[in-house]
Chain A
Amino acid sequence: MASKTLYSQRDPMLKRDGFEDILEERRNSSDLKYALRCYAPVLYKGVTPCKANMLKNIVLQSDQLRYVINQVSQESGEAPDIIQEEASVILEEMAHRLQISTVRFFAFALSKAFKTLFQHVCVNEEGIQRLQQAIQEHPVVLLPSHRSYMDFLLMSYILYTYDLALPVIAAGMDFMGMKFVGEMLRMSGAFFIRRSFGGDKLYWAVFSEYVKTMLRNGFAPIEFFLEGTRSRTCKSLTPKLGLLNIVIEPFFKGEVFDVNLVPISISYERILEESLYARELLGVPKPKESTSGLLKARRILSEDYGSIHVYFGQPVSVRSLAQGKVNRSTYNLFPRHIPRKPMEETQSFVNDTAYRIVRLQEDNMVLKPWVLMASLLLQNLEGMELSVLTEQTVWLRGLALSYAAFLDWPDHAPTAKVVSSSLALHRGLACVSGGRVSLVVGEPLGPVTPEEALFNRAVSVLSCASYRNQVLHVFLRPAMLAVAMHTAASSKKSEWPGLYNCFSFLWDMFSNDFILCPGDTVQDFEEACYLLVKTGAVQMPQQDIVMTDIGQPTLSFFNGLLEPFLQGYQVVCRYLCEEASEGLTEKQYIPAVRSFAVKLILAGNLRCYEVLSSDMQKNALAALLRMDAVRKVKVADQVTLIVNKMAVNSIDDILGGKLPTQKALLARL
């Protein structure tokens, strides 16, 4: 159990760098000159850059790859030459062909585009200086957050601007569908990996050796997205470990002295893909990336997307992180070129590292006032008085700041001005009429079925939620404690152990939806207590946690903040208990939950639109699977879900506050 004295180690007042707008210079000087200027970045320990072809040869002739080629050849009976040829084809499909001329083209084109789309592109220059230093000393891995297609072009653009070594970027193969653009991206440093290659040994070997070769030699910083894919919800996604494992392994094997991981937070004031994402989450299939699709996106160019903030975090040394956690000498008794599954110790280290990096990304995400307004609007879907919204936004700003949110609130501007300009920028989402602010619901042409109306409203809600989601990481821990207190109040228990159990249940339940570092439950609980006490929302006399008189607005805001998640998960539970048929397959699950929820909403029994989001549905299922309330069984080609109704039912009850946590835990046993 947590001791009262051990509060969070995290500094609530993180020191952060200031920003410089890199577009300012672009607006005052020639883009062409800028694109053609001398570009001479300093590389790792002064290595000379490696030509793409030479790199391929090094990879194809590596001991690592030769070993796997022989292995595959023996297993399949094919001649090694043929496998070698296959490897060469894979590499051809994968490899980048970074060319400075293409980068210059993008530098020119993006300058034009950025100036039209955005007011500012802000970068913390101190972070750039740290990065420059790091690149010279150690192999560097750039780990940006991923919210938009723009991310990696933006990254390369910034590095070019500051005369830093251009990264090579791991990109999903789906880009390859766009022939011309795909090749352009390849020439600006992207290399392409298939989305899934599960058991394909050869593919894995080519891929991992390709990445490691670049890393070991320090030819270029490696860039990839820990989250694996763009977050459609603007919440950080739980990290994927494949590539991180690959870039960390050379350190464990002693092939490099250290590897520096650089978390980078890219915050968009308005995301280009905003409503696209909402539709996708609601089940309109994602349009296949195609060049013509991208061209259609040209109309986007006529809109104002506010500012972008890019924050280069402190480089994280893998060596320092691994100190005392991984014993490198366990790698001594096995040839280093033979692929091996990482040891448990290593796996948990990599997992932990991945979560810490994503949290560092979250910490340095810049939040705009609109994010606070969206959080309030979502708790008042029927709309609210502009004056009330303004007042509450100011209140929420204070709360956010005392929780160390990285809030970009305009200096010296009157609050009313801040609120109105936020509303203006997001006029597609919210409107003011008669002094009331409410969500905009897209006006469809022609007659509308109730389902269509519901769908339109859901798009607004999910779009709005994607802004609220940006602030969740700031409030998450105290908010979970607030929910736990709320639940406990109904069961008349406010003592530590009960509260902690409830908190820990929610922590576990939501660990697919939010970034909660494995094993940090106690620490997070302490942080939650610390923050709530700090802002005077609760007091902690002895064994109790008690709400104070002034704590009510805070706690009720927090309850409202997590309400959609609690409700959403409950809907999923109810569906599984009440409606799910025997042979429910994994494929059927999402549409089935969706139509179940639609029915409830239409019948007036549910007001939560967020449960329609496939993201929440997937996360809820993942949580239930993790808690063994649902099992996956493979029958023929289909994966079927086997529901333990009693367990799911009791989880539903706890989420609804009907059952204390301990009883429910017993029920699971």
Chain B
Amino acid sequence: GLFHLSIVVLCPPLTSDSISTVLAAATITMKLTSTVCFPRQEIMKWNGWGYSDSKFLFNKKGQAEFTGKRYRLSGMVLPSLQDWFENTFGASVNHKSPPALNASAVPPASLNEAFVEDLKATGIPFSHEAEDRVFRAHGHCLHEIFALREGKKFERVPDMVVWPNCHSDVVKIVELACKHNVCLIPYGGGTSVTSALECPPEETRCIVSLDTSQMNRILWIDEKNLVAHVEAGIIGQDLERLLNESGYCTGHEPDSMEFSSLGGWVATRASGMKKNVYGNIEDLVIHIKVVTPRGVIEKSCQGPRMSTGPDIHHFILGSEGTLGVVTEVTMKIRPIPEYQKYGSVVFPNFEAGVACLREVAKQRCAPASIRLMDNEQFQFGHALKPQVSSIFTNFVEGLKKFYITKFKGFDPHQLVVATLLFEGDRERVLQHEKQVYDIAATFGGLAAGEDNGQRGYILTFVIAYLRDLGMDYYVVAESFETSVPWDRVLDLCRNVKERINRECKERGVQFQPLTSCRVTQTYDAGACVYFYFAFNYRGLADPVHTYERVEHAAREEILANGGSLSHHHGVGKLRKEWMKESISSLGVGMLQSVKDYVDPDNIFGNRNLL
């Protein structure tokens, strides 16, 4: 029972209206009518995160609820959210920021007629409807969503959108783009948070958004070698669902997997929640096919490891759409694990928690996922507890709280929680679980149940929806991440939080900001740290600018404390300015020379990275 329940949580929409199904339906329509509108926006918000039917709101009684039917939290009332929200941000549910719905201020399309003519001849569907173009002009950075909500005009959006159906369609499009000097920007799931999808305002050529969503098939599965060959436009949850039907999974589950695409993962060096078992994207790919202005890059075989000079895959992984379009990927698959179990451990403080994760990494016994939330996030998680149905459950909860805070002497304003996810055959999972809990105990950790663990992972999927709720009430929020050596984790977390608090104060933010972090991945030599940062912007003239300055300062603090520029979000245009500092100017030169060779006319002109 539990196992199935958890799958529901992790892979929310099992219903028939998953994105690609809708899109596929559209494709059929298109073939009949040839007036093209691929209606992602029909099921997804045009000015916020995720599905249109799923959102947080404060109902007439002032209680928070989460609408829709897709998630475990859907349809539930969350009685403590309002208090938490008001106390944390000094916000009030009575102060609603009016959403402006003037979204039609879209610059007119400037089309390259010759290109359009040639494209028509290929029969590949395209569109220059304003809605389609604006939808693909942004990712999910705060400033992008804020601009959409405020109805601000985008300086530059794609002039048209094109939907290739397969690898050879992409080859044709890229050839035509080269022929007519058109700028191409690949678009996968649109979940970028690095301004990577923003059109460079200085671009004078026609910009074509190349939407990969129609290339969403699993082309073959090779059970002997446990690999699958997949088109790169497939969305994470669809890939898992389709593989599950054959008894397999990739195990690659980035937090954005509901919406992000395989090609996007490759282009940004994505990382999945369960990388401890399955690896990150660079460990998962066996073969990549990329269409570039110079032609198609691929390898000659699928050898599991090669010594053939620097791995050309690594020019593609993390290239952020600057070199070409990833069309097909051969990727490792695994049989679906027999058993899955959540868990959680409460520690008296963050220091103890980090020490425990470090030890787990040292002993190389990390479960599929192990994450450590700080106290702020622990409290936030509690605020998302649904209304308890029976008095009895409430009583048990109360007892647990009493035991942890009073009997064990944990300070509720200090304690932190680690959430765990174990996978494998049942016996081994139980054995593994014991090993991890034993280590935790030596750091003062106290097992806190499966439910708390599971709630932690729910948070991951709904937190992006919460940002939209915040923006309804003058609260802006964003997340950012880094990777850092073990010995600097604590110092980095403390200093970055403090820097944010200080910068907010100096920049006139009237309310105490929320700064929270969690350690989301462990490695032999370090960890990935993920920050959330939010503040109430009432009284600020330009909250987005303030926000951006604070994030800039926070990134500088990260770099000064030995953190990396990015662990998995990528660089995009948001963090370009630090590339030289991060990889040396010689390093930038190396990447530049690859770009110059592969794409001399800058056809893939999104200007990310370099």
Spell out A's residues near B (CB within 8 Å): 253-255, 257, 327-329, 331-332, 335-336
Contact = CB atoms under 8 A, between A and B. Distances in A.
A328 B559 CA distance: 8
Given A254-B562, A257-B498, A329 B491 contact: no
B487 A254 contact: no
Contacts of A329: 559-560, 562, 581
A336 B487 contact: yes
A555 B180 CA distance: 80
B560 A254 contact: yes
Nearest to A337: B487
Nearest to A331: B562
A655 B562 CA distance: 52
B467 interface: no
6 contacts: A253-B491, A254-B488, A254-B491, A254-B560, A257-B495, A336-B487
Contacts of B492: 254
Interface string B490-526: 0110110011000000000000000000000000000
B63 interface: no
B52 interface: no
Contacts of B581: 329
B75 to A, nearest CB: 43
A332 B488 CA distance: 10
A327 B580 CA distance: 14
A332 B581 CA distance: 12
A327 B494 CA distance: 19
Contacts of B18: none
A328 B487 contact: no
- A-B pairs, 10 with minimum CB distance: A328-B560, A254-B561, A332-B562, A257-B498, A254-B491, A257-B495, A329-B560, A329-B559, A255-B491, A254-B495
A19 B560 CA distance: 41
Contacts of A332: 562
A257 B557 CA distance: 10
Contacts of B499: 257
Contacts of B487: 335-336
Contacts of A257: 494-495, 498-499
A328 B492 CA distance: 13
Interface string B419-440: 0000000000000000000000
B332 to A, nearest CB: 33
Nearest to B488: A254
Nearest to B497: A257
A332 B494 CA distance: 17
A613 B560 CA distance: 48
Nearest to B559: A329
Nearest to A327: B560
Contacts of A327: 560
A332 B560 CA distance: 8
A332 B485 CA distance: 10
Contacts of A328: 560-561
Contacts of A253: 491
Contacts of B560: 254, 327-329
A318 to B, nearest CB: 13
A44 B320 CA distance: 45
A89 to B, nearest CB: 29
Contacts of A336: 487-488
Nearest to B499: A257
A661 B404 CA distance: 78
B546 to A, nearest CB: 20
A328 B581 CA distance: 12
A333 to B, nearest CB: 9
A581 B488 CA distance: 59
B77 to A, nearest CB: 37
B349 to A, nearest CB: 13
Nearest to B502: A257
Given A254-B492, A254-B561, 20 more contacts: A253-B491, A254-B488, A254-B491, A254-B495, A254-B560, A254-B562, A257-B494, A257-B495, A257-B498, A257-B499, A327-B560, A328-B560, A328-B561, A329-B559, A329-B560, A329-B562, A331-B562, A335-B487, A336-B487, A336-B488
A257 B560 CA distance: 11
A457 B491 CA distance: 60
Contacts of B562: 254, 329, 331-332
A335 B581 CA distance: 20
A331 B498 CA distance: 20
A328 B562 CA distance: 9
A336 B494 CA distance: 17
A329 B485 CA distance: 13
Interface in B557-584: 559-562, 581
Contacts of B498: 257
Interface string B535-563: 00000000000000000000000011110
Residue from A254, A329, A332, A335 with most neighbouring chain B CB atoms (10 Å): A254
B583 to A, nearest CB: 13
Contacts of B488: 254, 336
A44 to B, nearest CB: 13
Nearest to A216: B491
Interface in B253-299: none
Interface string B428-468: 00000000000000000000000000000000000000000
Contacts of A255: 491
B358 to A, nearest CB: 14
Contacts of B559: 329
A253 B498 CA distance: 16
A180 to B, nearest CB: 41
A537 B238 CA distance: 86
A37 to B, nearest CB: 30
A315 to B, nearest CB: 15
A217 B559 CA distance: 23
A281 to B, nearest CB: 46
A327 B578 CA distance: 13
A332 B492 CA distance: 12
A45 to B, nearest CB: 10
A254 B563 CA distance: 11
Contacts of A331: 562
Contacts of B561: 254, 328
A335 B492 CA distance: 15
B488 to A, nearest CB: 7
A463 B491 CA distance: 51
A588 B73 CA distance: 87
A123 to B, nearest CB: 29
Contacts of A335: 487
B504 to A, nearest CB: 15
Contacts of B491: 253-255
A324 B352 CA distance: 34
B374 to A, nearest CB: 16
Nearest to A333: B562
Contacts of B495: 254, 257
A662 to B, nearest CB: 43
Interface string B569-610: 000000000000100000000000000000000000000000
Nearest to B563: A332
Nearest to B501: A257
B523 to A, nearest CB: 17
A329 B562 CA distance: 6
Nearest to A335: B487
A532 to B, nearest CB: 39
A255 B490 CA distance: 9
Nearest to B582: A329
A329 B491 CA distance: 14
A335 B495 CA distance: 19
A209 to B, nearest CB: 16
A248 to B, nearest CB: 15
Contacts of B494: 257
A332 B526 CA distance: 13
Contacts of A254: 488, 491-492, 495, 560-562
A255 B495 CA distance: 8
A330 to B, nearest CB: 10
Interface string B33-52: 00000000000000000000
